[in-house]
Every structure is written in structure tokens, then in C-alpha cells.
Copies of this chain bind each other. A is one copy, B any other.
Amino acid sequence: MLSKNTVKFIKSLHQKKYRVESGKFFVEGEKSVLEVLQSSFTVDLLLVTQEFATKHAKVLSGVQAEVEYVTTNQLEQVGQYQSNDAALAVVQMKPNEAFTPVKGELILALDEVRDPGNLGTIIRIADWYGIKKLIFSSYTAEFYNPKVIQSSMGSFTRVQFYYGDLGQAFQAWKLPVYGAFLEGESIHQLTNPAPGVLLLGNESQGISKEVEKWVSNTITIPGFGNAESLNVAIATAIFCDNFKRMLNQ
């Protein structure tokens, strides 16, 4: 039986303050919960419906976490999904550790992407293009925000990420930094780019002045019509696609 304290605790994780305090976050829905169970994340508590437990008995048999059986109503009460007839997992955050790129790797850097939906979508795009490492400036949306987790569609389990000073990291890595601007070299004209860092900025302000100093190549998506701009997640996808196409030729 789901105790009042457990309900209260999971509900507290809707707020960043309590996520940070406890070092935990939650994951909802069939697909995302299955992915987190089969990832390197540590699941502390798993709430499942009888239906989910029956359907995924094999996955559940290997689970170390405490498992509680709940109703669809209870899931919807503690989580953020309007409908969830499957499961919810309480998961331990990973430590914020710096990483070092390996040779030939493409890294994605975000300078203050604020919208959690955009961040989640970008994580899904990174995963599609096989980008394993992401670095975020400290004002970028929080990775463990439920909307980020939801919109990443399970891809949050397959990327390594790190919040820190972008300039410091770029300086240490000594890699080309391709910064996305509305005016730069057309990504269609770029030839034989070297692997490095693809950097996208804030939804309305773009890349900040402090970070711009570290950009070695300014790049842009050529427009053929009259729209003023593209959404940052859309732009990330187009840059990733162009880089992967060129790096794999």
C-alpha cells in the first residue's frame, strides 16, 4: 500500500528545490520507465499497475528497487501525466561530473536553453544522431525537470551531461567550437568540418557575449523564405544532421 509519506515525497519531486535536496527525480509512463530500468540509473522505488507488472514480468524480475502495486488513479495522483496506466519510478540523480571528449567525437553545448520541452527534444535529437556528450551552461533548464524527462522520450538515459562553465571547458578541450547564429557561414557551404563542439544559445537571446568569445566558427541555417527564425530544437536537429552527414562522408 502506498503510504501518505511516499505520496507526499513523490509530489515534492515536482519541484526543483526538493529534487535537488533529495538528489532524486521521477520518471513516468511505460516507455520511459522501461528505459530507465534498463539503464545505468539507480531506481529507488517503482510504482506499477498490475497490468504493467504482468506485461513486463521479465524486466521486473531483475529489478532491485522496492516495488509497490498501485492503481491508475494513484499514478495520476502522484505524477504529472494526465493519464498513466503503467508505472512511475523514483530515480537517483547522477553526480555532475566533467567529461573529456574522445577524438572524432561531436559534442553538443547549450548556452541557457531555458524551456524544458526544448531541452528534452534536444536530448532526443542528440540520441538520434549518436551524440553521447552534452554540456550545459548553469542557466540551462534542469535535466531532471519532469518535462525534460518526458519530452526526451527515454533518450535521457543514453546521454552523458554536465553543467558547468562553457568557456572553461572549451578552453581545456582545444576543439573547434561551431556557434549557431542568425548570421554566419551557411551550414550548406561548410566543407569537411573537423569534429568538435556544436553550440546553441538561448531561445530569444542566442549565444551570450561571454561564450561567444570561444566560438571559432559562426554557422547559420540558410533561409529561403520569410520566417525570422527557427525554434532552437529545430535548429539543433538541422545542424546535427548536416554535421553527421559531412563527418560520415
Contact = CB atoms under 8 A, between A and B. Distances in A.
Contacts of A224: 128-130, 244, 248
A223 interface: yes
A161 to B, nearest CB: 14
Nearest to A234: B237
A231 B128 contact: no
Number of copies of this protein chain within its complex: 2
Interface residues of A, number: 35
A222 B244 contact: yes
A238 interface: yes
A131 interface: yes
A61 to B, nearest CB: 24
A127 B234 contact: no
Interface stretch (A22-30, A46-54, A118-126): A118-126
A221 interface: yes
Interface in A94-145: 121, 124-132
27 contacts: A121-B231, A125-B230, A125-B234, A126-B225, A127-B225, A127-B226, A128-B221, A128-B223, A128-B224, A128-B225, A128-B227, A129-B224, A130-B225, A131-B225, A132-B225, A154-B227, A155-B226, A158-B225, A188-B244, A221-B241, A224-B248, A230-B237, A233-B234, A234-B234, A237-B238, A238-B241, A241-B242
Interface of A: 121, 124-132, 153-155, 158, 188, 221-231, 233-234, 237-238, 241-242, 244-245, 248
